[in-house]
Amino acid sequence: MSPEARQTTTGQRAVNRPQTGHGPHTTGQPQIGRGRQAPGQPQTPGQSQSVGQPRPATDAPHVLDNPARAALTGPHAHFAERHGRILRYPVDVTPWLALPDEPDADDWADLAAFAGPGAEVPLLGFRGRVPDDWEVTFRIEGVQFEDDGLVTAPEPEAVRLGADDMPEMLHLVARTRPGPFLPRTIELGTYLGIRRDGALVAMAGERLRPPGWTEISAVCTDPAFRGEGLATRLILAVAHGIRERGETPFLHTGAGNTNAIRLYESLGFRLRRTTAFMTARAPQRLPEGRTAVPAS
């Protein structure tokens, strides 16, 4: 959902910063042109939009404006850890957490108690104002794309990945740096991979699941196999599975990740909104009356 990840550990709370490499790592030309409409899909592809020209916003909130909160109060509610109005995934599943749409001082105090004094907290997709007693330690601009005419298809060479594949998946992520991927991230949805001579060389899967939507994430290809269109094939295969259950694919990447953005637009993704990926350090002292919440 794709800023180099710097990892920091405070006590038992490990925080992965978002990575600039999030998204496909492929230098080949996309195999499918942008704007073609999938059979049976009623949407009308729009004109190509460059980063900085997202689809005009409406007054009504959209589930993708706060996708982690929508997921954690919807299809991913069984993952939700809650303190006050703050929701988060377990720290070994994904760094995404969910603030209310307009957090107040009590929400920031609850988040500080949730994280622990001085802990770094990922604020993925948050564009509001961080309180003065919080220190922003990392920030990069991001973009959010939505399906606008993907021509999806199953991938015959793809295999479904499971818990037994985790060592190889983590090794591939370490080599390619597609974005935060943790030991339990695979529990969030379907992950597909392509093997060559028995070795995992490319993968893609599902992360956030707001109602009616699923995020495509962890798209990566071993450097030795880039240029073969493996990322394209896996994106379309994962998107096919999402469409098959009546949901719509979306994804995130860094605004400066031009190769990934070019690929996404060529496949039929439309820029929906700009966003930001940041981390901030909680105050060293918790507000009066607050105590740290033990990690699950």
The model's pLDDT over 122-175, given as tens digits with 9 standing for 90+, comes to 999 998 899 999 999 999 999 999 999 999 999 999 999 999 999 999 999 999
At residue 278, the pLDDT reads: 95
By percentage, how much of the chain surpasses pLDDT 90?
A: 74
Please answer whether residues 193 and 165 qualify as being in contact, where contact means their C-beta atoms are separated by less than 8 angstroms: yes
The model's pLDDT over 10-47, given as tens digits with 9 standing for 90+, comes to 333 333 333 333 333 333 333 333 333 333 333 333 33
CA distance 205 to 234: 8
Kind and range of the H or E run holding 127 = none
At residue 23, the pLDDT reads: 39
CA distance 28 to 157: 18
> Sheet of 81-83: strands edge to edge?
81-83, 86-88, 97-98
Helix extents (H) in 97-210: 105-115, 166-176
Rg (CA), the chain: 19
The model's pLDDT over 49-99, given as tens digits with 9 standing for 90+, comes to 444 455 555 567 899 999 999 999 999 999 999 999 999 999 999 999 999
CA distance 255 to 219: 16
pTM: 0.80
Pick the more confident residue, 180 or 43.
180
**Is the predicted pLDDT of residue 197 greater than 90, yes or no?**
yes
The model's pLDDT over 220-265, given as tens digits with 9 standing for 90+, comes to 999 999 999 999 999 999 999 999 999 999 999 999 999 999 999 9
How many beta carbons lie within 10 A of that of residue 236, not counting itself? 24
